[in-house]
Chains A and B, each alone.
Chain A
Amino acid sequence: MSAILGWLICGLALAILLIAALGVYRLPDALSRQHAATKATTLSLTLFALGAGLLAWDATWTWRLILLVAILFAALPLASHALGRAAAGSNEVE
């Protein structure tokens, strides 16, 4: 049961990653591409970590995955904010 749920969540995470990649390819300007790349990627990585934790039902995996998701939640918004502010400040994007 846990294994099937893990496979399903990992597949959903990969579908979201593919949608993010499509957005990075198709969207018209840099800031909307960054919107696609950051938010959908965060959701996809979190879901994949959850699915991997369900698949390998083990405490050592769980702690490392929790650490990974905590680092991602701390780092990705900060990095994307810095990048978006720099891009809006430069006059390449309009």
Chain B
Amino acid sequence: MTPTLLFVVLAGLAAVPGLYRLLAGPTLTDRVIGLDLLFAVAIILSLTAALLSQRTVFLDVAIGLAVVGFVATLAWARLIQVRAGGESE
């Protein structure tokens, strides 16, 4: 089961640019993109936790993370649109 620990390290490495974009992105859109990447890393880490512990509970966590990430991105997109002054639709 050692490759799973390598998966954790690689996914954590992929989280670093996402965190950088989240903190230092020039525009609000860049920060939301960093958040998207962090959600993807979180889903992969959750699946890895399911593989490590052999429990299906973490798969439910991954499904919940996917739904929450979808709603969060939609809300941020709406906020960006409203802040730019486009109240249409």
A: residues with CB less than 8 A from B are 7, 10-11, 13-14, 17-18, 20-22, 24-25, 30, 33-34, 37-38, 41, 44-45, 48-49, 52, 55-56, 60-61, 64-65, 67-68, 71-72, 75-76, 78-80, 82-83, 85-87, 89-93
Contacts and interface: CB of A to CB of B under 8 A. Distances in A.
A68 B66 contact: yes
Given A25-B20, A61-B56, A44 B44 contact: yes
If over half of B's interface residues share one DSSP class (helix, strand or loop), that class is named, otherwise mixed; here it is helix
B84 to A, nearest CB: 3
A79 B33 contact: no
Given A14-B11, A25-B17, A90 B34 contact: no
Given A21-B14, A65-B59, A48 B44 contact: yes
Nearest to A18: B14
Nearest to A83: B77
Interface in B46-63: 47, 50-51, 54, 56, 59-60, 62-63
A17 B56 contact: no
